[in-house]
Amino acid sequence: MGVVWKGHHLSLDMPVAIKVVRALDLNDPLKHRERLRREAQMAARLNHPGIVRVLDFMEEGNQPCLVMELVEGSTLDAYLRTRGSFPERTALLMAFHLAGGLAAAHEAGILHRDIKPANILIANDGTLKISDLGLARPLADSSLTDHRNVMGTPLYMAPELFTRACEPDPRCDLYSLGVVLYQLMTGAAPFGGTTAQVIHGHLHLTPDMTKIPASSRHILARLLDKEPRLRIGSARELREMLRARVLEIDALARPGNPSRSGSQARIHGSDSRLIERLEKTLSSESIADGKTIVHTTGRERVLVGILLGALMAIGLVSWLLTR
């Protein structure tokens, strides 16, 4: 869609990312710029930790430019290309976080329209951020036009986008997030090959679920359903399903549970330090209703026990002295 520069916002005195957007609708560049401006204005109203913040929109020599928060790190795409997949819990946690960002956008009336690993940034501190919100597709008309062919990879596109002139719908984003989750768990998108083979896969083939841990298959099956009406209804609902699944894994992994499973086994090739950072950062977001999951170590639990014991002893001694 354009070129992204690292820059410095002089009046705010902060580093920023500046995206110089290529004119996509060459027949009507004015209309295109106006549409980008409106979408940038909508995106700028969103303030969610899972979405790259839009700070400004300007035109430089007739070229629309979007000024965003600078996310130091890498794209999920770069990670997946070089390091492969993630353990099940990390992948679910990542999708949980992304579903939170997507829910905030959808509830504000903004569709993403191009969810894919290249538009997901992993910050160095382990935060995940969705970028290019609402800006990725220049045309309201969802039919498969030349523009769409030229600009998008079909790997992540919902099947209905290839066959019908339908209104853009949040469920298209959910399908794309399903493809991303599939890739997080297996290292590859469900349908590969030439463009024609990928489109054929989206339209007619059932994704191979053998590499997906059995207890997460129902979530993927409902995200990747060919029929939009049978898909998970909203990003918020998806978030709840992912939350439930992560809590289930945590309950199984508790010491003393006889069915403690190997679902968190490290997948060969993945970067354990990055995974630790992701798990730490993403788990610190409230995942259990009203409760934050805190991963305590055995040593921390012993220390808390000693502290509580000491407090009780002090209380008892002072009660005895005052009698």
Q: Is 225 in the site for Mg ion (CB under 5 A)?
A: no
Cβ atoms of residues 147 and 139 within 8 Å: yes
Strand partners, 14: 9
Q: How far is the CB of 174 from ligand ATP (least distance, A)?
A: 19
Q: Which of 2, 7, 49, 84 binds ligand ATP (CB under 6 A)?
A: 2
Q: Please, what is the minimum distance in Å from the beta carbon of residue 121 to ligand ATP?
A: 6
Q: Which residue is nearest to Mg ion (CB)?
A: 132
Nearer Cβ to Mg ion, position 71 or 232? 71
| C-beta closer to Mg ion: residue 137 or 243 | 137
Residue 132 lies near Mg ion (rule: CB under 5 A): yes
How many whole angstroms separate alpha carbon 274 and alpha carbon 36? Answer: 34
State the minimum distance, in angstroms, from the CB of residue 142 to Mg ion. 19
- Nearer to ligand ATP by Cβ, of 46 and 287: the residue is 46
For 291, the token pair is: 């409760």
Binding mask 76-115 for Mg ion (x = CB under 5 A): ----------------------------------------
Query: Strand, coil or helix: what is 187?
Result: coil
Taking CB under 6 A as the rule, does residue 133 contact ligand ATP? no
Q: Which of residues 41-80 bind ligand ATP (CB under 6 A)?
A: 52, 68-71, 75
Shortest Cβ distance from residue 74 to ligand ATP (Å)?
Answer: 7
**Binding to ligand ATP (CB under 6 A): which residues in 73-92?**
75
The verdict on whether 25 is a catalytic residue reads no
Q: How many residues appear in the chain?
A: 323
For residues 160 to 199, the per-residue mask of contacts with ligand ATP, x marking binding by CB under 6 A and - elsewhere, is ----------------------------------------
CA distance 323 to 321: 6
CA distance 158 to 88: 23
Nearer to ligand ATP, 153 or 286 (CB): 153
The verdict on 119 binding ligand ATP (CB under 6 A) reads yes
Closest CA to 185 of 130, 223, 134: 223
Nearest residue (CB) to ligand ATP, 52 versus 158: 52
Backbone angles phi, psi at 227, to 5 degrees: -95, 110
**Buried/exposed 306-317: b ≥16 CB within 10 Å, e otherwise:** eeeeeeeeeeee
254, exposed or middle or buried, with CB in 10 Å at 0-12, 13-18, 19+?
exposed
Radius of gyration over every alpha carbon of the chain, rounded to an integer in angstroms = 23
Report 98-117 residues binding ligand ATP (CB under 6 A): 114
DSSP result, 31-64: HHHHHHHHHHHHHHT---TTBPPEEEEEEETTEE
Distance CA 230, CA 63 (A): 41
Q: Is 119 in the site for Mg ion (CB under 5 A)?
A: yes
Of 115, 116, 117, which is closest to residue 76 (Cα–Cα)? Answer: 117
Which is nearer to Mg ion, 149 or 197 (by Cβ)? 149
Which member of 13, 25, 114, 169 is catalytic? 114
CA gap 277, 320 in Å, rounded: 48
Is residue 176 at the binding interface for Mg ion, with CB under 5 A as the rule?
no
Contact footprint for Mg ion (CB under 5 A): 119, 132
Binding site for ligand ATP (CB under 6 A): 1-2, 4, 17, 19, 52, 68-71, 75, 114, 118-119, 121, 131-132, 136
Q: Among all residues, which ones are annotated catalytic? A: 114
